[in-house]
Amino acid sequence: QVQLVESGGGLVQPGGSLRLSCTASGDINDIRAMNWYRQPPGKLRELVAASTAHGVTDYVDSVKGRFTVSRDNAKNTAFLQMNSLKPEDTAVYYCHFNVQTAPGGGYELYWGQGTQVTVSS
């Protein structure tokens, strides 16, 4: 089994910064994608930032230039640095990893438990 544990959410004023972390534990042989999603109140979950094992990253237009996704493959951990936060960034943020649990096996998708980010004065 694989578990993803997130941390780093909280309340921040507009213009502030937060750094989210997500660490995978359990039977892990390899992790391909380490992505971040968010779900604002009353809205659908959306992909915010994506990263591949080779360091390729991509972002939804609304966070480009403000958010940065990074990863520490040795520690099975992804980070989301969020700067210049806006009230519209308020959401529950989820990490989403594509994990191989055994050599030669397939990859499966796992979600973190979610962490609340609230941007308000």
**How would you classify residue 101: left for phi > 0, otherwise alpha for psi between -120 and 50, otherwise beta?**
alpha
pLDDT in tens, 36-62: 999 999 999 999 999 998 889 999 999
Low-confidence ranges of the chain (pLDDT < 50): none
Token digits for 100?
């191989």
Token digits for 70?
């990074």
What pLDDT was estimated at residue 67?
Answer: 98
What pLDDT was estimated at residue 68?
Answer: 98
